Structure 1
Amino acid sequence: MEKLPPLSAVELAALQRYAAKHGRRWKSVLRGAWMGHAPYDDGGTLRTLRNTHGPSWLDGFKLPKGEAQK
């Protein structure tokens, strides 16, 4: 399997904001948005992550420790 590039500070910050906005189910909300479902708020950096890393990457991704999730 091809190694994915590490997240940039901008990408990590976008994921942290998304997690803060959507709470503990943020990954399933983002995965749905990546598949074309509401809330359609995955534009810009998050859409680029979908294209470069994909939904299967998101399943295994964890925010760095100390990032509070609702």
Structure 2
Amino acid sequence: MDKAWADKSVPEVLAAPVSALKGVSDRQGDLLKEAFGIKTVADLAELKYVGWAQALAALDAAK
């Protein structure tokens, strides 16, 4: 988390813009919104492509 969001509750962080995540700039957040319609941390977490990538990584780690 960005320092400004470190003391927020989980629901507040999930409702925050993706730029609340450490290393994600406002510009990168805008690009995610443009490409995938992502506005919040929750939107990013629920993105099907993220789920697919996590599943592939888990399969690879299990071998």
TM-score (norm 1): 0.29
Which one has more relative contact order, counting CA pairs under 8 Å at least 6 apart?
1
Higher helix share: 2
